[in-house]
Amino acid sequence: MKGYKKTLLWILSIILIFLLFITWYQYEFSMDPVTSFYVNSGHLSTKLLIATQGSDFKNAVTAEIIDHYKQDSVYMEIIDVSELNHINPEDYTALVIIHTWEKWKPPLEVKTFVERTSSQLDKIIVLTTSGSGDSKMKTVDAITGESRLENVTSYSSEIITRLEPILKIRVK
């Protein structure tokens, strides 16, 4: 009976350590929620949606995109990726999704949105960050990389380069 108790104690200890690790990992690496906000008038005909997750890196990329277009006639709506299920892509000229690859897959809201809007992927730009820097959904021509602050301008520039023809083609 003594050996049984020791084995049980070891198993319970391993389970406890695993649960503590999972809790720490979630706390350490989970994304902050993003508070929705708008830039410029909603009456403008060119509309850009940026759906993102909260982190220093993603906030900086979003800020550079906003700074680039804020003087133009572009309405920008910034939301958390968790709100994508309420978004109709027909309401926007272009959409940018910035998300982290979590637990070896994209956030469910991002995956569901991309699947639901697969016929409109030509106006959706995705930046996927991951530890390895190369994870992405197979159906999307995403920009991929690691969330390193020294690379913010590089990723922002790539997104803006991809946005330019979409926003200009659709400007009336």
Q: Write out pLDDT tens, residues 102-130.
A: 777 788 898 999 999 988 889 999 998 87
Report yes or no: 102 and 109 within 8 Å, Cβ to Cβ.
Answer: no
pLDDT at position 130 is: 76
- My answer on whether 137 and 160 are in the same domain is yes
Domain span at residue 115? 37-170
- My answer on whether 60 and 125 are in the same domain is yes
pLDDT at position 170 is: 46
Confidence grade of residue 30 (pLDDT, cut at 50, 70, 90): low
Closest among 90, 80, 48 to 66, alpha carbons compared: 48
DSSP state of 31: P
Sign of the CA dihedral 97, 102, 106, 107? negative
- My answer on whether 72 and 132 are in the same domain is yes
- My answer on whether 89 and 5 are in the same domain is no
The CATH code of the domain that includes 95 is 3.40.50.360
- My answer on whether 136 and 161 are in the same domain is yes
- My answer on whether 62 and 94 are in the same domain is yes
Cα–Cα distances (Å) from 68 to 2, 3, 71, 108, 153, in that order, read 69, 67, 7, 30, 11
Confidence grade of residue 24 (pLDDT, cut at 50, 70, 90): confident
- My answer on whether 53 and 76 are in the same domain is yes
- My answer on whether 22 and 63 are in the same domain is no
Does the pLDDT of residue 40 top 80, yes or no? yes
Cα–Cα distances (Å) from 34 to 10, 133, 157, in that order, read 41, 22, 22
> 66-106 pLDDT, tens per residue?
999 988 889 999 999 999 999 999 999 999 999 988 777 78
Count up the domains in the chain and report the number: 2
> 41-56 pLDDT, tens per residue?
889 999 999 999 989 9
Q: Model pTM greater than 0.85?
A: no
- My answer on whether 16 and 54 are in the same domain is no
> 130-157 pLDDT, tens per residue?
776 666 777 777 888 888 899 999 999 9
- Average pLDDT taken over every residue of the chain: 86
- My answer on whether 24 and 42 are in the same domain is no
Report yes or no: 84 and 97 within 8 Å, Cβ to Cβ.
Answer: yes
* Helices assigned H by DSSP within the chain: 2-29, 56-69, 108-116, 152-170
- My answer on whether 26 and 42 are in the same domain is no
Residue 146 CA from chain centroid, whole number:
12
